[in-house]
Each structure stands twice: as structure tokens, then as C-alpha cells.
Amino acid sequence: MPTESGSCSTARQAKQKRKSHSLSIRRTNSSEQERTGLPREMLEGQDSKLPSSVRTTLLELFGQIEREFENLYIENLELRREIDTLNERLAAEGQAIDGAELSKGQLKTKASHSTSQLSQKLKTTYKASTSKIVSSFKTTTSRAVCQLVKEYIGHRDGIWDVSVARTQPVVLGTASADHTALLWSIETGKCLVKYTGHVGSVNSIKFHPSEQLALTASGDQTAHIWRYVVQLPTPQPVADTSISGEDEIECSDKDEPDIDGDVSSDCPTIRVPLTSLKSHQGVVIAADWLVGGKQAVTASWDRTANLYDVETSELVHSLTGHDQELTHCCTHPTQRLVVTSSRDTTFRLWDFRDPSIHSVNVFQGHTDTVTSAVFTVGDNVVSGSDDRTVKVWDLKNMRSPIATIRTDSAINRINVCVGQKIIALPHDNRQVRLFDMSGVRLARLPRSSRQGHRRMVCCSAWSEDHPICNLFTCGFDRQAIGWNINIPALLQEK
């Protein structure tokens, strides 16, 4: 029919026009600079306390915003024309099909349905465009305050846990599914010690508070305590691994760091532990030292946590009560408190401060597996879960959290920068985000085709006093990464 073909042609032309104005953030070129030359000169002529580089960047970003909204305005006009065309088409089709004039209610229903679809499309396009603009600000901020310093590559399988020694010399420890634990020089990235005493996946590693001892938990149903002696190599100049103004690129899960041979083969190997803690009937998923280092606690898939005497290896207490497998355990830095998390959606606080009374408190609030719960300064605990939330709790009021952080991906083993109260959240989706204790997002660690994790990030660990790297992450891409977080700048931007 003539009416139908004419409307199709009009719709096709509108679609082609709309396609020509597709929304994307473009880098500034010569023609765009000429368009915005006059306003730029006028603005640059004004007095400003901002550095010239910052001012130039702001001008370019606002120019991008102006161009995006101009494109949105043009597309909005075209969509309105298309709505009018489709409404006319619906009215003509209604008369041709029914052979009679449709009721106003029917025409209104069809037109409303078409209009709502186009309106939704416009909203989606608008959100996509503005999210790109907002992300450009956040990316610039993250790169300025979060820089990758060193990559620690040498494991043959995914790395479950990362930890930093609390005594001199300060070294980095990693626990891997390849049945080994490695100690690294933070400055050079060189492997210093290799521990091979376990016959199963090494699921966690923690350093003694005052001695050169490491505590590792394993899938072989044991936890080992072993002594290490290291000599730090001479630091080499740190290469600049930052990204220079490029958009971040998503990486394939198959992209993993290249390992030429076994980089840990030439470092000293420890094969036998000082002490082996045995009594669990399932995988030991985590272990930690109690304050003072004379006792250690382990968490297992057999639904129990055990408290051991380090010197005698004897079982002191078996902590029961969880309904499903445990996922993590953590001890308080200054008090005899232990927190255990579980797949039963709860975490429990165990109090050993009074030798005669061992109390337990249950925290409920998550709807899926609690992957970790850690202590902070004072009387707070932070818990992370597969339900994509992080909750901050006050130990004096267990009924409800004092803050809740909602994210877009499951959360793994979290860590808190105690001095600055910054929470590092490693995600299943390869991202690592930083939040403060009130739930305000501070930054996201940069990730691109050239840096960052390429698979699930399993754990994070802060080292507040180290001059080069103060945050470490590890993942199932078989590498650990050291980051330098400019905390004063991060908090100032907040």
C-alpha cells in the first residue's frame, strides 16, 4: 500500500540519521578544537588557580559532554518525528485491517505501546552515554591515585590468598592451588622462598606477629607452621606501568601472564613444617594467629573451627555451630577474639578474653555465602558475601549493620586498611574497588589489556607502612599484584 511504503521509507531514513549520530566518547580532533576554540580561549583567559594541565583536561571533558548532549538532542528530535510517523502508520493500518475506523481507545493503546518502547530506547541510550562520561571522570581519578607497581608471577595455578609479613624483613606471601606457598621480595618481585610441605591446595597464608614463621592452611586437611629465613635482594628501578590516556579494555579470561619456566625453581625450598595441626575431617580453608602468636585458629569445610596451642600442637577448643562449610576465619589484632564465616549465610564472633567463659555471637544479615569477615579498629567487623553486599557491623549492636555496600558482583576475601579505614573489595568479575567505612566508593583499581587481573580476584591485603606498595591483590590468573595507593589524595577527593 502507498501509505505503508511511504512510512517505511520515512522510518528507514530516520534510522539512518540516528545511526550517523551514534553515541560514543571521542578523542578531541582538529575540527572539534576549531568548534570549541572561541569558548576555550575565553575560558583560558580567565583567572584560575587550577594547574594548566588540569584545566586543559577539564575543558576537554566538558567539550565532550557538550557534544554528547548535542547528539542526544538531535536524536531526541528524530525519535519524536519517528513517533509521529508510527502513530500515523498505526492509524492507517488500523483502518485497512479492520475495514472500519478503530475506536479511539484501541488506537491510543497501540500508539502508547509504540511510544513507550521508543521512550525506553531513548532512556537507555541516554544512560549509556552519560555512564561513559561519568566513567571517564572516575577512570582519570583512579589512575591518578592507584598505580600498579609490581607483578609477582611464578605460581602454576590460581592464587587463593596473599599476606604481608609483620616483622622485618617485610616480604609478601602467596598461597596457591598448585600446592605451594611462595615468599617474594616486594621491591624486586623475586621469589625468595618456596614451601612445598602440603599435598593439597594451599588456601591461606598468615605471618606470625613477631617471628619469622608462616601459617598455611591446605586442602590436605592440615595447617602447617614453618620457619623461613630470607635475604632481600638489591632493589631495582621500578618501571612505569601506568596507562597513558587510553580507554580501559576488557580482557579475555584466557589471557594469562606468560611464565617462561619455573621462576621459583632457583629459590630455597622448605619441604617439612615445624608443626602440623591435624584434627579436621575436611579441607582447611583458612588459618590465623591469635594475638601474641601462641595460639592459632583454623576454619574447615567440616563445619568447625579449631583453636590450637602452637608449641604443643594440641587442640584447645573445637568451635562448632555453623550449619555449613566454613569459608574464612580472622583474629582481632589486639584482643582474643575470632570471627568465622560460613556458607550458612552467617558469621560468628568467638570471645576468648575470659578463660573461663567462651561466648559466641551469631551475625545474620546476608542472603548468601559469607565469604569473609574481618576486624577493623575499635569494635567493628566488616563482612563480604556472595550476595554482592558488604556490611559494616558494630559488635555492641548485632541486630543490624551500620553501613551496607551494594555491588554488581560476588565479593571474595576482603581486607581493611586499619589506619585509614579503607576497605578493599576483590570481586568475581576481576574488579577491585575501594570504599570507606561509611559505604562511600573511593576508587576502582585500573584494569586493561596491559595491567590488572585477567580472572577472578580472590584476595586483597594492605601493607600500610610500606613505601612502595601498600595494597596487594591476587587472583586465579596465577599472579599477585602490588599497588601504590595515594591515600591522602584518595581521601581528599572524597
Three-state helix/strand/coil letters over 396-452 = CECCCCCEEEECCCCECECEEECCCCEEEEEECCCCEEEEECCCCEEEECCCCCCCC
pLDDT(189) > 70:
yes
Report pLDDT for 65. 87
- Predicted confidence band of residue 476 (pLDDT cuts 50, 70, 90): very high
Q: Is the pLDDT of residue 197 over 50?
A: yes
Q: Pairing relation of β-strands 346-354 and 337-342?
A: antiparallel
Give the sign of the dihedral formed by CA 145, CA 149, CA 153, CA 155.
Answer: negative
Average pLDDT score over residue span 343-355: 94
- Tell whether pTM > 0.75: no
Mean pLDDT over the full length of the chain? 81
- Answer whether 295's CB lies under 8 Å from 307's CB: yes
- Nearest to 426, CA basis, from 464, 375, 380, 481: 481
Percent of the chain topping pLDDT 70 = 73
- Mean pLDDT (whole number) for 72-93: 82
- What angle in degrees, to the nearest 10, is found between the helix axes of 52-98 and 37-44? 140
Residue of 180, 227, 183 whose CA lies nearest to 203? 180
